[in-house]
Structures are given as C-alpha cells and as structure tokens.
Chain A
Amino acid sequence: MPTIEHNASSFEVDEDGFLLKGDDFNQDWVQYVQSVEGIPELTDEHKKVIDALQEYYKKNGIAPMVRILSKTTGFPLKRIYELFPSGPGKGACKMAGLPKPTGCV
C-alpha cells in the first residue's frame, strides 16, 4: 500500500488515498487532504463536519448516513458539497480519516 509523506508525518493509505489507520489522523493529514481536494481555506465549518464524522465513527464504527450528518451539523447536502467538492464520502470522510464504505452504494 502507498505511503504519503506530508510535513513531518507519514501516512499509510489505501488505493484511493484513504487513511489505513485512523489513529494516524493529525493536522498534517488534514492539510494534506485539503491540498489534494483543492479546498482553498479550512474554516470552522469544515472542522464542524470533521468533528461530527469522527464523533459518530468513534461511537458506531461506520460513517453516518449523509442525512444524519446534515442534521448534526445543520448543513444541507449542498453546503457539504461546497465545503468538500468530492462530497461527504470521498472528501469529508477522507479528511476525517474514516475508511470508505462498501456494498450496494
């Protein structure tokens, strides 16, 4: 599996660039994903989404349904796409260090 070096950190990622070990998550990772996702500036709104994803993941072992994410953050789906152009799964979950979902999705 590939390894990503960013600033002083090194991260093992899967084929699609998702973090393999959630514990590796740190601010260098956030900055790295920001650069590959082409997000010009990280705001409190981004942070709110990341925190909500991580909190839900810690409790449930999986990312929340997008509708639950919208409800907890108060951001409609459209706003989440503005914040994370690749969307909640490929953009926000990646930045939050969550694995990507599988199955009939």
Chain B
Amino acid sequence: MSKITIVCVEDEPDVLDAVIRELEPLEDVFVIEAAENAKEARHLLEQIQERGDETAVLFCDHIMPGENGVDLLVDLQKDERWQDVRKVLLTGQAGLEATVKAVNQAELAYYIAKPWEGDELMQIAKREVSQYLVAKDLNPMPYLKHVNMEIVQDLVRKHLSADR
C-alpha cells in the first residue's frame, strides 16, 4: 500500500527540528520527510513518487537560500503530479505580495505565521491531510487515528465495509 507522506521544507535546522518534533506523533500512520531548501524538496518529492508513495501535505518556509518558498509552491502547482498536494506556508516573513501570489497561483491551503502556537501545527497537519484524503477519495480507515473526523465523516461512510 502506498504511504501518505507529509513533507516539511525549512532552511533553519533548529526550526526544522521543532517542526518534525511537533508532527512526530503522526508517524505511526504517516511518513514525515524533511528538506532544507527548494532543490532538496523537489528531489524529495520525486523520490517519494518514484517509490510509489503520495505526498499529501507540504509545509514550506518562504525565505530560504536559493529559490524561495512561494516560487517553489507556484512552480509545483504547474506540475500536475503535485497539484493535489495541500500546500501550507509556514513563515514569519512572507510579505503581502508573495502571500497573495501563493494564494492565487499555488492554491495555498493555509498560512501559518511563525511562531506557531500550541498544537496549531498538528491541527493543521491533520486538517490538511484529511482534505487530501477527501480530494483523492482514499480509504480513510487506516488513518482514522490522526485525521479531522468532521472532514472525513462522509468519506468514512463511503468506504465503510458492510456488516458481515
């Protein structure tokens, strides 16, 4: 069975560590992968696809050495392989212009302002992964532990096995 992956792109190692630590509890049903810049991120996405897994959510920083986060997201949106990936901007520094660009051209799913609060990151991850399951009409049963129940409610019904 293909695994559902959550990818985090962030150039500062401390922040990346914090993000990964925050999302760690999800790892019993999802795979969490990290990249330090846009180039690595593209490579990682390719790899995930090659091994037959799916990228469901991409958390992305904006200001990074090389290509910035918003440009990466906009570019990924043009490639039909990554169009359905739920794209989340996780940044303190994206200006209005860049943010608008991300919303309009990369169908940004969510904007999290750093520093995030409490379990915000976790809630957004669950929410977005649930939206992905719904959009792709995937069987939510294996992931019920870490999804947003309200979002997947109808999906659960649809994929239910019958009484036996």
Q: Report if A and B associate in a common complex.
A: no
A residues with a Cβ closer than 8 A to B are: none
B residues with a Cβ closer than 8 A to A are: none
